Amino acid sequence: MPAIGPSPLAQPAIPVSSLLHTPSYDQDPIAAAKNELTCALYDLESIGVLQKVNRPDLEALLNPLEESRMEDATDEEICQAVLATCNSESQEEGPMDGDVEDGAIIEPRPTYHEVVQAASIMSRHVAHVDNPVARQLEVILASMGRQMRLERSQGLTATHITDYFHHV
C-alpha cells in the first residue's frame, strides 16, 4: 500500500452572499427594519399579493396618518379622547351589541355548569354512535372541556389555609 501523507488543510469557504450583504450589526436598527419591510413588500409583490398600483408606500406604513395627527394634539385633547373611549367601552354590554336588533331578547351566557352538563350528555350519546363524525365530536368536546378547565383554573387565586381561620 502506498503511504498516505497528511492531508492538506481545507481552506475555509466564504459564501458569496456574505460579500454582497452588509452584516446587520454594521447597520442602524431603524435602517435594518426599513430594509426588511421593503424586502417583504417586494416579496409580496413578486408572489402576486400586491401590485405596483396597490403597494403601500414605506413612509405611509411607518408613519400612519392617525399617528401623525396625534402629534399635533394637546394633552387635554388626548385626555378627552381616552376618557371618551373608556366611557364608550363601559357602556357597551358585549362584543355583539351592534348585531342585536332593538327589542330583541338577549339570552344570558350559559354557566360553566350548564356547558359541562351539555357536553357530558353529548359525549354519552356520541359514545354509542359508530361514525367518524361522532369520533371528531368526541375529540372536540374533550378539547373544549380541557380548555374550559384550564381557563377556570387560571382564574383562581392562591390562598393559604390560614386565610380561612379568623383571628380572635
141 domain residue, yes or no: yes
Cell of 84: 371618551
Structural domain boundaries enclosing 143: 112-154
134 domain residue, yes or no: yes
Residue 140, pLDDT score: 92
Residue 49, pLDDT score: 76
Residue 46, pLDDT score: 78
128 domain residue, yes or no: yes
Residue 7, pLDDT score: 58
Residue 158, pLDDT score: 82
5 domain residue, yes or no: no
Residue 73, pLDDT score: 72
144 domain residue, yes or no: yes
**Residues of the chain predicted below pLDDT 50:** 95-97
- What's the number of domains the chain is made of? 1
- Inter-CA distances, 137 with 18, 28, 97, Å: 53, 53, 30
